[in-house]
Structure 1
């Protein structure tokens, strides 16, 4: 899993504005961040044969996803936002500025952008093994993520979040398996910073309308509308539980305990780690490491944010436990 044969390409997001946005304003008097490339819309169109149906590989609430190739040979993944997008010129520039300063091995890297008429394009590195949701919880038919790959993913995500919180001073707001991408070595990288917030360095929280995904959304943030790094910690705890159990954060097939946190708590307390472990890896997994991970996961997913450890503390606690 640590072998170095990663194949990088490009992940492209295309935004279409509605008539009420300020897309028509040119990108004048704006300095392109250092190290960020400018792509033409023609390059992006050619990569997907004009966004053809044959190149489409998926779609979601954000729009459609295509696979293609740039003329220089790089493999590309293209995300085309729906026509309902209201992101204007200023927001587009801010997002480029935000993403251009994120440099960490466990964050998907912005390579460049394109702005042409009503089209706005962000260009990222390509992650050839898709997202964690499809590999862990979806209908992916390939090789199962084994117990050690899952541990490595957990640590990688923690390291990426620690960088966001401690160095970039950014709150992700929507951490979930579908926003955790996997490269050619199954190395995890956090993606999708579309609703991220820059956290004021000396403030304890940001007051904002709740945004995120059910099952991963911090309940205190939802109730009080006060966003903190602890909101990301909560989401991280849920992701850890999914890695351990192989079950979804919210599942109506668990009628009395549809929330994964409430499903895990009594079983872990009464039956130990074997009562919650994903049956697909139950025959051969390091029980003590997974028990430690489950303990950390439940602390991160505590209802009261004051009871949650920071990502740094969670990561350090797990690493220290492994060493001793």
Structure 2
């Protein structure tokens, strides 16, 4: 855990999402800023936490957020590459589905937002099977 200088509370380690060099056009920058504005307003245990929006030393926009271990898409790929046969255990699938449903319900009902890109690579996972 690290202390967030912006929030004054204990927070998880941070992950940074920044525009790649050469991909810094105004449209991409505006999308990242909009994502940061939306994420800053969201407070739900199954949605990745906002930490800060800042610029790197070379002037690129950067969104700092709660760090998760991996995404569901990579977990599925890793499982296939390791040759693990069969589906995930039903309890694991239900855990993921319930957490995802809670997060989407919060977005749709409480925040009146539509995610627009729900897929396994956008389901972020912490080390304790809490899904974001």
Q: TM-score range by the shorter chain?
A: 0.7 to 0.9
Distance 1:149 1:118, change over 3 A: same
Over 2 Å off, 4+ runs: 81-96, 143-146
Is 1:135–1:145's contact at 8 Å kept on the other side of the alignment?
no
Structure 1 unaligned regions, length at least 5: 1-6, 16-80, 190-324
- Whether 1:83 and 2:22 are equivalent positions in the alignment is yes
Indicate the residue corresponding to 2:97 in structure 1: 154
TM-score, normalised to structure 1, is 0.33
What is the SS of the residue equivalent to 1:12? Answer: strand
Q: Which of residues 112, 122, 127 in structure 2 aligns to 1:169?
A: 112
What whole-Å deviation, never above 9, does each CA across 1:71-94 have from its counterpart, x for those lacking one?
Answer: xxxxxxxxxx36234336654443
Map 1:13-92 to 2 at 5 A. 13-15=17-19, 81=20, 83-86=22-25, 87=27, 90-92=30-32
CA distance in 2, matches of 1:93, 1:133: 25
Distance 1:139 1:95, change over 3 A: closer
Q: Which of residues 49, 66, 69 in structure 2 aligns to 1:125?
A: 66
Indicate the residue corresponding to 1:97 in structure 2: 37
Higher relative contact order (CA 8 A, sep 6+): 2
TM superposition shift of 1:149: 1.2
Paired residues in the alignment total 116
CA distance in 1, matches of 2:108, 2:16: 25
Structure 2 unaligned regions, length at least 5: 1-10
